[in-house]
Amino acid sequence: MQHLTGASPTSARRITVLQGTSHVTRDVDVVLTTVLGSCVACCLYDARARVGGMNHFLLAEPGEGARFDKREAERFGLYAMELLINEMLKAGGSRNNLRAHLYGGANLHPGMQAIGTANAVFAKGFLERDGIPLIHEDLGGVQARRVDFKAASGQARSRCVDAEPVEVRKPPLLAVAGEVELF
């Protein structure tokens, strides 16, 4: 895997790719970032055109007979992958030069449906059918990941997110001279 280098932390502009969205850029100072559990992110890069992008999909495909609003289509892998490829081509990329990284696909909760595995299998199969080489993958396991992708240079980093629960502390209630504020 390539490591992120180049732009200093102060010059890099981070764009978060949320669930069900994608982003394509040629800007060398942009780092696309996301956090994944069972979801999968595909990072595509064209080295000649110096353009790259990332998507983040929740499910491989809708369940049989499922109904959903067209605005929700991007949460499914097929739509998210096609959209990302089309946006890459619009930005000057060439289908023959595309290279892919895949991240995520964890199964975070034992005993539950293996959605992460299904997402990973779908994404790898999609790339294979479309003839897009998969140059790196960090898929599966039981931990969430944070992914950073310098799309214009094709550099990526994937790190496991600490699974330890975070203690949330509530601030003490404050009373001001005869007044009580309730939450």
pTM: 0.79
State the SS3 of 70-90: HHHHHHEHHHHHHHHHHHHHH
- Residue 100 counted as domain residue: yes
pLDDT of residue 66 exceeding 60, the answer is: no
Domain containing 146: what range? 13-180
- Looking at residue 161, what is its pLDDT? 86
Q: CB of 61 within 8 A of CB of 118?
A: no
pLDDT of residue 172 exceeding 70, the answer is: no
Domain tally, the chain: 1
CATH code assigned at 103:
3.30.1330.200
Average pLDDT over residues 52-65: 83
- Residue 22 counted as domain residue: yes
- Residue 1 counted as domain residue: no
- Residue 7 counted as domain residue: no
- Looking at residue 5, what is its pLDDT? 41
Helix, strand, coil percentages for the chain (3-state, nearest 5): 20, 35, 45
- Residue 153 counted as domain residue: yes
Average pLDDT over residues 66-92: 83
Tens of pLDDT, residue by residue over 2-12, are 444 444 445 67
Residue 114 CB neighbour total at 10 angstroms? 15
pLDDT of residue 142 exceeding 70, the answer is: yes
Average pLDDT of the chain? 84
Tens of pLDDT, residue by residue over 42-52, are 999 999 999 99
- Residue 2 counted as domain residue: no
- Residue 20 counted as domain residue: yes
Average pLDDT over residues 138-160: 95
- Residue 92 counted as domain residue: yes
Q: CB of 21 within 8 A of CB of 80?
A: no
